[in-house]
Amino acid sequence: MLDFFKRARQPHGCRAAVRWRTPARLPLPLACVPLTLMAQAAYAATAAPADNTSPQHAASEPASLAPVVVTAQAARPTLDPNLPASVATVTAEQFENWNVVTPEDVLKYAPNMAVRKRFIGDVNSTIAVRGTSNSQTARGLVYADGLLLSNFLGNTFTFAPRWSMVFADDIDQVDVIYGPYSALYPGNSMGATVAITTRMPTHFEADAKVQGFTQHFDLFGVNRSFNGTNTTATIGDKVGRLSYLIGADHLENTSQPLQFATLAQSTTPAKATDRPVTGAYFYNDQNNARTAVLGVSSEGIERTFQDQFRLKLAYDLTPTLQAGFTLGYWHQKYNSDTQTFLRDANGNPVYSGLVNIGGFEYKVPAATFAPSQGSSENFLYGVSLRTRNQTGWNAEAVASYFDVTQSIARTAASGVPGDGPGTITYGSGSGWKSLDLRSTWTPPSAEAGLAAHWLSFGYHYDNYFLDNETYATAAWRDGGNAAFANAFGGRTQSQAAYAQDSWRFLPRWRLTYGARYENWNAYDGTRALGATSLDYGAASESHWSPKASISFDATPDLLLRASIGRAYRFPTVGELFQGQINGVAIVNNNPNLKPEDDLSKELTAEWQHGNGVYRFTLFQDDVKNTIFSQTNTTVIPNVTNFQNIDKVRSRGIETSYEGQDVLLRGLDLTASVAYTQSKILANSGNPASVGKYFYRIPLWRANVAATFHATDKTAVTLAARYSGRQYNTLTNTDTNPNTYGGTSTYAVVDAKFTYRPTKGSEIGIGVDNLFDHRYFVFHPYAGRTIYLEGRIGI
């Protein structure tokens, strides 16, 4: 079973984790036993004083729950031996040798996973895993020390997890739990659960780090460098019963152009009154249609300024009772610049109107080159109270509140320079709160053999609330509200109770089974357009989600496991009441959505061999009522909004390997290859999509990262990421994906050299996208990006 993570190479110290999957292992020094946190694990139930932990105790660590504030002293929290799912773990010892600026970078080489990060500082960085695309953000759970970072106010790119509440340098490890196979998690775990564990100090420490990065980007009419910096400082200590960690972070960066103004190639001859212009570029778009590029539009070239503050406290009320508190603060200011390529005969920029390009007439709308700017201020509050007995009963309570105290977005009405008219959108007052009450039973170590039961019980509550108002303004940069334009609002609330048992009923067999009952409510839905307002009625759903998994220790080194689980993913506030906002254009909402209904299955083999661990997994997800924004082509006029797609099936194969001293001493390797086929089997709203591949699920994904430790002070990493053919439309009409507007097949190479002259200092130089491959996720990804960093600490 999943009892120990063992260091494979002692002379170099405890720096990289290799997972061992069998119960009987030789004792190791505790400081060299990197144990992994699962989102199931109540660390309170598993942590024990370092000098009292024995191999026998480690082998019988209690079943536990979602990740909580971690206060490990000499070892990481224990991996729950009863977890009924495939897991990928990334430790600080691994990613400290990668190019990491923000927390989501830690996931860049995880098996069958991709991060949609368009530039450093992108607040819309989403994850895609297995049969979940990077636009289905409500199908992924992200926790940081047990606090919920998932933004379930909506289910698209703009509702990415709030990674900004974590410092990358504070992360101790990240666990990715695939699929909805545990009763301890809601249906949002359909894709994966990401459990981030941050560290706590055992003695006084202070640390400062500075990173600089630059990319040169050349596409259409833009050919220039874009630069940024990131500065982080932390201080912490353990004084008696109190541990604390305080940190501040400041990031500035300028992105490459994210969006271009385009018009289909015209066939209308120009009129004498059309203004002749030059500067347009032509290319074949994702549908292979000839298209004119007029300049940089909409999201444009984004300049972002981000400030973070984080305070984390842990206090031992008694040797077995601990209280924790977390405060997170994140503030962002941004401005998105646009640029017209069009020039008249006198060299003056042209922003709108009827123009003559190559003898043909084009109509450029006034808002084509409209710039924007905005700011956002967010707070995360978290408290916890938990026991931490080695065996027997444990309990914990974790509460969190994410508060968007300020959200202001200003957009000009046209691209003409100056402070002219525009709109202001407010999202202040939105956010979410959650409460988890949990208890676990772990049998005494003497009883942890045949017929032993590990029990888990819990209650969950969350409440998401959205308020969004838009006004016209006479001065878009700093003017006040004028005429009211539109507003959206609504609330969702979920409550759940669950129970799970992991039962070793034969010497080599374990059955894990459980059920989750969830009640979901949507209410206070409202929509206003000008002088017209509409209130929506309340909606309610309740469902049971049974789970089961059976595992067999075929040999001391080979584990076989079969898992099955049903999960319901309930609609978000945005899908129900807000629909989708693209700039200031409103897409119809849909307050009558059904929850997504998933039946998920997985077969896994995990084999320890030599210095590494191999995993082979077959999986299949059958999802009824997939919620997705599409055009209903069966009604006239067509309606575009979030709708239920009748059935989508995703099935595939994952293989992964992680090892140390691979082929030669000092070489650590992690690698994975995955094949996923995700197809639409029934879609009454858009019959043309039946039999087609689902949106943005590549057929193949492959990641590899190799780190060579030439000495104790130096490390060289070479890594690669590959994503295969995928589609940007449900009907698979995008026949030319490797271009702007398409979703590319890509293979990019990353590298980093790290030198640590002393224990508390570090110098690094790295590069992402080494060969400057131009690839797209509709928007262009970053070009070759060079990093330079330095750290000093005590």
pLDDT grade for 636, boundaries at 50, 70 and 90: confident
pLDDT at 172: 95
* Residues 335-389 pLDDT 10s: 999 999 999 999 999 999 999 999 999 999 999 999 999 999 999 999 999 999 9
Q: What percent of the chain shows pLDDT beyond 90?
A: 81
Mean pLDDT of 498-510: 93
Q: How much helix, strand and coil, in percent to the nearest 5, is found in the chain?
A: 5, 55, 35
pLDDT at 80: 59
Please state the φ and ψ torsions of residue 760, each to the nearest 5 degrees. -105, 10
pLDDT at 59: 35
Q: What percent of the chain shows pLDDT beyond 70?
A: 88
pLDDT grade for 207, boundaries at 50, 70 and 90: very high
Mean pLDDT of 555-579: 93
* Residues 660-678 pLDDT 10s: 999 999 999 999 999 999 9
pLDDT at 495: 98
Mean pLDDT of 687-712: 97
pLDDT grade for 20, boundaries at 50, 70 and 90: very low
Mean pLDDT of 577-598: 69
> What one-character DSSP code corresponds to residue 781?
P
Mean pLDDT of 133-143: 95
Contact 417, 371 (CB under 8 A): no
> Does the pLDDT at position 65 exceed 70?
no
Reduced to 3 states (helix: H, G, I; strand: E, B; else coil), residue 168 is helix
pLDDT at 589: 75
- Which tops the pLDDT comparison, 649 or 8? 649
* Residues 311-330 pLDDT 10s: 999 999 999 999 999 999 99
pLDDT at 83: 80
Nearest alpha carbon to residue 737 among 749, 725, 723: 725
pLDDT at 588: 62
> Does the pLDDT at position 163 exceed 60?
yes
**Is CATH 2.40.170.20 correct for 4-793?**
yes
pLDDT at 591: 86
180, β-bridge pairs: none
Q: What is the 3-state secondary structure (H, E, C) of 196-218?
A: EEECCCCCCEEEEEEEEEEEEEE
pLDDT grade for 447, boundaries at 50, 70 and 90: low
223, β-bridge pairs: 218
pLDDT grade for 73, boundaries at 50, 70 and 90: very low
pLDDT grade for 66, boundaries at 50, 70 and 90: very low
pLDDT at 418: 87
> Does the pLDDT at position 746 exceed 50?
yes
Q: Rounded to an integer, what is the distance from CA 501 to the centroid of its chain? A: 29
Nearest alpha carbon to residue 176 among 164, 188, 194, 158: 194
Nearest alpha carbon to residue 75 among 168, 246, 200: 200
> Does the pLDDT at position 728 exceed 60?
yes
> 273: buried, middle or exposed (CB in 10 Å: 19+, 13-18, 0-12)?
exposed
Mean pLDDT of 562-584: 80
Contact 726, 747 (CB under 8 A): no
pLDDT at 25: 27
* Top mean-pLDDT range of 75-89, 580-594, 641-655: 641-655
pLDDT at 32: 33
Mean pLDDT of 456-478: 95
pLDDT at 667: 97
pLDDT grade for 95, boundaries at 50, 70 and 90: very high
What is the C-alpha separation between 697 and 678, in angstroms, rounded?
7
Contact 93, 16 (CB under 8 A): yes
> Does the pLDDT at position 449 exceed 70?
no
- Which tops the pLDDT comparison, 35 or 479? 479
User: Which residues are within 8 A (CB) of 585 and not within 5 positions of it... i.e. 6 or more apart?
Assistant: none
